[in-house]
Each structure stands twice: as structure tokens, then as C-alpha cells.
Amino acid sequence: MSVLISGGVKSGKSNHALRIAREWNGRKYFLATAVAFDDEMKEKIEKHREARGAQFETIEEPVLIDKHVHDRLVLDCVTLWMNNLFFQGIEQRWEEILKDFLDRMFHDTVIVTNETGLGNIPADSVSRRYNNSLGNANKMIAEIVDEVYFMVSGIPVKIK
């Protein structure tokens, strides 16, 4: 089953994604989009690796997620992937890359993202463009997956 898991920072999205994926039989893949750009991020990545254990083959890809489509895949996360596109100055490619990923996506896929549009409207144009792009990407994904969950304080709330 294809699933989108959204929510705020530290709401339990990744843990819920792993709970779903651990039920799959066969080889499992974890497509990690995070880039270890400082010590805090390196520590966060290491904690996520430890949480996955040896059950997943990890693929680290910050931009070209469409080149790593597998059955039984967890994509974590769209939020950092979008950030990477903006950082590299190629944010206009998000729709093309995501569409290619979704067109080739297998049935057993869990996609993790953040819900950034619940707060204030950012004062700067780059942050507004980022929020708009991520919101549109989330809608594109939610439209085609089988289930959508919104994480609240570690509790998955099914919305589709």
C-alpha cells in the first residue's frame, strides 16, 4: 500500500513510516534525502540509521529521487528534498522530478513529509516559494497514494 505521512517537526513521522515498512516481506529500501551539513544534522542522520537497523538498504540521494524507485521503499523526506533543490538553485525542477518518481512508484511505498503551511506566512519570498512548492508537492502525492496520515504528538491520524 502507498502511504503519505505528514506532520510537524518531531511528531513521529519517521517512526510511523518504519512501523509500516517493517510489515513488508522481502528486501526493504530507505531513500534518505538529508545532507549532513553540520554536526547536529550528522547526529540526527546517525540516530535515524540506528533506528532503521539492518532491515533496510539505505540509499542517500539529496536531489534525484526519481532515479531510486524501488518496491518496498520509504522516502524520508520530501521536506529536505525540496530544501536541497532550493539550496542548489534548481527548485523549478521539483515538479518534473516528483512526477517522474510518482509515475514509477511501486505499490509498497511510504513517503514522509512535513506540513509547513500551518503557521505564519513567511516574510521573505524564498521561504514563501518554498512553502508553496512543498504544499503543492504534498497535494500531488496525497492525491495518488492509498492512505494519508497526519502525525500529532506521535499519534497517527488517518485522513485518507
Report, as residue numbers or ranges, the catalytic residues: 48
**DSSP line for the chain:** -EEEEEESTTSSHHHHHHHHHTT--S-EEEEE-----SHHHHHHHHHHHHHHGGGEEEEE-SS-GGG---SSEEEE-HHHHHHHHHHTT-GGGHHHHHHHHHHH--SSEEEE----TTSPPPSSHHHHHHHHHHHHHHHHHHHHSSEEEEEETTEEEE--
